Amino acid sequence: MSRAYIVAADPESLARSASEFVVSRLEAAVRSRGAARWMLAGGSTPRRLYEIVRDRSDIPWNRIALYWGDERCVPARSPDSNRRMVESTLLADGRVVPASVHPIQGDAPDPVAEAARYGTVVDDPGTSAPLSMDVVLLGVGPDGHVASLFPGTPELQIRDRSVAAVARSPVPPHVGRITVTFRLLDSARSIVVLAAGPEKRPVAEGVWYRDDGRLPAARLRPTEELRWFLDPAAAGDLDRREASAPAPDDPGRR
């Protein structure tokens, strides 16, 4: 597995560099396997990336399936809904029509049952192993959480299920969550982490300087490539060099 981080000059070039990387991996999957799976993130940082990808005209959407890495237990029209965020950016105006779209139902009456249902969506029905996502896009919280996997919580240890319900998020909005687990994340081919803003600097340093295993973000081990895209405020003292997305066989930088 190759690990690398890319420090972009500003949030706009972060979104552009990361979108290039995501699209290149989706296209490679379509070329080699005929289809691609992209797992999406909520939060604010991915918004611009989704708009950039939406506005491209060269993406084989009829071969790309979309999934969500986590959802807040809120109504689908809530401003806190990750599904709504994607629908109002990537999927706005119907310009992008993917082969399939698999949202988590944040307003399901029973989040535990919804987690079990979503597990059947992201697991291979033949083998019961998680489907390998070609790209998982993640934001990262200042506490080091990814998807809705929070530091020090039991969900970090789950290995027998790809999706879990979290009773109450320790960070706002303090509602229940439904999240993929490391069982699924560990089977992903590429994971892309977006980190922008000074509040992300401690977690970036914790991951890249100290490999601090208490941080869920430090535990990401996709099968092929881990790429962090940071803006200068999040990168702090990390190597201040903007790079185009590295080729798959690049050794990566630490």
Looking at beta carbons only, is 29 or 169 nearer to ligand 6PG?
169
Q: Minimum Å distance from CB 41 to ligand 6PG?
A: 6
- CB-count exposure of residue 253 (10 Å: 0-12, 13-18, 19+): middle
Q: Minimum Å distance from CB 44 to ligand 6PG?
A: 3
Looking at beta carbons only, is 126 or 172 nearer to ligand 6PG?
172
Q: Tell me how long the chain is.
A: 254
Looking at beta carbons only, is 122 or 140 nearer to ligand 6PG?
140
d(CA 173, CA 96): 29
Looking at beta carbons only, is 45 or 187 nearer to ligand 6PG?
45
Token code pair at residue 150: 């929070």
Between strands 2-7 and 225-230, the pairing is parallel
DSSP state letter for 219: G
Q: Minimum Å distance from CB 194 to ligand 6PG?
A: 7
d(CA 12, CA 14): 5
Residues within the interface to ligand 6PG (CB under 6 A): 41-45, 139-141, 171
Q: Minimum Å distance from CB 155 to ligand 6PG?
A: 13
d(CA 187, CA 167): 25
Looking at beta carbons only, is 98 or 216 nearer to ligand 6PG?
216
Q: Minimum Å distance from CB 177 to ligand 6PG?
A: 7
How many other CB atoms are there within 10 angstroms of residue 24's CB atom? 15
d(CA 95, CA 85): 16
